[in-house]
A and B are shown apart, each in its own frame.
Chain A
Amino acid sequence: MINFDSSAPVRLKGVGDGFWITLDPSHPENVIKSEIDKLFKNLKHLTINASVVIDVKDAKGHDDLIENIRSYLINTFDVAKVSKPTEKRSIPTERIRQRDLSKGWNHHRSEVLMLRGRVRSGQKIEARKHVVIAGDVNPGSEIRAGGDVIVLGRLAGKVHAGYPKDETAMIFALEFKPTQVKIGEIAAAGINEDFCAKPEYACVEDDGIVVKDYMKANPFRKLPWPEAV
């Protein structure tokens, strides 16, 4: 277990795109430097272009010490930026917290069409926005959505996401086997070869439709916060 109250001269923590160094300025500068040296050598290439925050906790002043360490880190370990911790929490974090408290999605009226069960040949599903189908979509059926199409099952019909012109829409299925795919105005024929049952999604890249392995390139992982759609 990590003892946060320990008064080690230097403590290191990874934050976002860089590192957070907590110093105890009561130790001599050379001790601090050698401790930093030890820790940063372990990080190897990760230090390059990283942004580092030097935190001296409640101790005031020590600008010289921070300045020395700053130049030392930049010269020795190629870090991009060394700064002091901001007085307050950064504004985005604050805003996000407020959003969390207000829980915007509690009052959100969804336009998502969610269906449960098998979509059979000859059935046509049209949705103004996103559509989620918990079940299989059989060959011979059609799905058309203004937004994304998400199929929790096998997708084997004809599917059009982002109708009529939204090329940011995506099509996801646990088994991606459609006969024809269309996103916005771009269409592609389904491929039967090399089919293996794995979660995949299709999106538009460079004016063409690409199908990607969902577990490897999850498009939602990049979104930092839950948003109602």
Chain B
Amino acid sequence: MEGKVIVITSGKGGVGKTTATSSIGAALALEGKRVAIVDMDIGLRNLDVVMGLENRIVFNIVDVVQGKCKISQAAIRDRRIPNLFLIPASQSDNKDVLTTSSVERVANQLRKEFDYVIMDSPAGIEKGFENSIVGANEALVICTPDVSAVRDADRVIGILYSRSLTPKLIVNRIEPARVERGEMLSHEDVLEVLSIELAGLVPLDERVLISSNTGTPLVLQNDSKAGQAFKRIARRLNGEADLPIEVPNHRSSMWRKISKTFGFKK
């Protein structure tokens, strides 16, 4: 059976595409699937840094697309998580070196070799974005709860629809305490504007920065809220569509249980 190519995109930069790509990829691999994560941000690669695999790069996606090497030569195996592979971007080229037809060809090859191919799209809606969505079967749109990210996500969703892709939404960096105080858009506000299917909600987690800087997968840290949220998203993508979506809450679940028992509100 052929695998799926899932593109992770957002329009706006810095909303957590790369973190989401590496976390969801790693979580799917932990579920026992054979996963390739592909950095499509040609010229500004950083998925390799986030995954801690920078020093092992020999070939990259541009080499694969241009036929200079095989997929198996460019795919770097992650030593911590079996079945997880990274195909890095090129740092020296720019986004115009790839053509949509050649990327589509490689996407079809990848689909044959892996269960899941997660593509990390660059910010923006130009050539690099076009290249990353051309071979995709599914799309995930990442959005943070702020007005500009929602605006850009809305634009991207429109483009994805026009390419017959029905995207799902991940709302990232939710700060439940600030949502409760009314300082931040809630995920409901975001959904009201974007109105697409929700894939998951990810709370703000300071561990994300630490794990990106040290190159350790977020999903391997059991006490990381964001890591756990990405794990649930991966399970949902991997067939458990009914897995309920957990809304981040700033009180601990123990306190909630006690409150419920004594009949306190909230």
Contacts and interface: CB of A to CB of B under 8 A. Distances in A.
A118 B157 CA distance: 11
Contacts of A118: 195
Contact of A140 (B151, B159, B195): B151
B120 interface: no
A121 B152 contact: yes
Interface in B129-172: 147, 151-152, 154-155, 157-159, 161
Most buried by B among A120, A138, A140: A120
B195 A121 contact: no
A138 B193 CA distance: 7
Contacts of B151: 121, 139-140
Interface residues of B, number: 11
Contacts of A136: 193, 195
Contact of A123 (B147, B158, B193, B195): B158
A136 B154 CA distance: 12
Contacts of A123: 158
A140 B161 CA distance: 17
A122 interface: yes
A121 B12 CA distance: 13
B195 A122 contact: no
A138 B153 CA distance: 11
Interface residues of A, number: 9
Contacts of B157: 120
Nearest to A122: B155
A136 B196 CA distance: 13
A156 to B, nearest CB: 8
Contacts of A139: 147, 151, 154, 193
A147 to B, nearest CB: 25
A171 B161 CA distance: 28
A140 B151 CA distance: 7
Interface string A38-82: 000000000000000000000000000000000000000000000
A139 B192 CA distance: 12
B32 to A, nearest CB: 37
A136 B161 CA distance: 16
Most buried by B among A118, A136, A139: A118
Contacts of B161: 120
A142 to B, nearest CB: 12
A140 B11 CA distance: 14
A136 B155 CA distance: 14
Contacts of A138: 154, 193
Contacts of A140: 151, 154-155
A88 to B, nearest CB: 58
B6 to A, nearest CB: 21
Interface string B118-136: 0000000000000000000
Nearest to B195: A118
A123 B125 CA distance: 14
Interface in A126-185: 136, 138-140
A120 B125 CA distance: 15
A121 B159 CA distance: 10
A118 B159 CA distance: 13
A138 B151 CA distance: 8
Contacts of B147: 139
Nearest to A119: B158
Interface string A91-107: 00000000000000000
B189 to A, nearest CB: 12
B10 to A, nearest CB: 13
A139 B189 CA distance: 13
Interface of B: 147, 151-152, 154-155, 157-159, 161, 193, 195
Given A136-B193, A139-B151, 4 more contacts: A120-B157, A121-B151, A122-B154, A139-B193
Interface of A: 118, 120-123, 136, 138-140
Closest 5 CB pairs of A and B: A120-B158, A121-B154, A122-B155, A121-B155, A120-B154
22 contacts: A118-B195, A120-B154, A120-B157, A120-B158, A120-B161, A121-B151, A121-B152, A121-B155, A121-B158, A122-B155, A122-B158, A122-B159, A123-B158, A136-B193, A136-B195, A138-B154, A138-B193, A139-B147, A139-B193, A140-B151, A140-B154, A140-B155
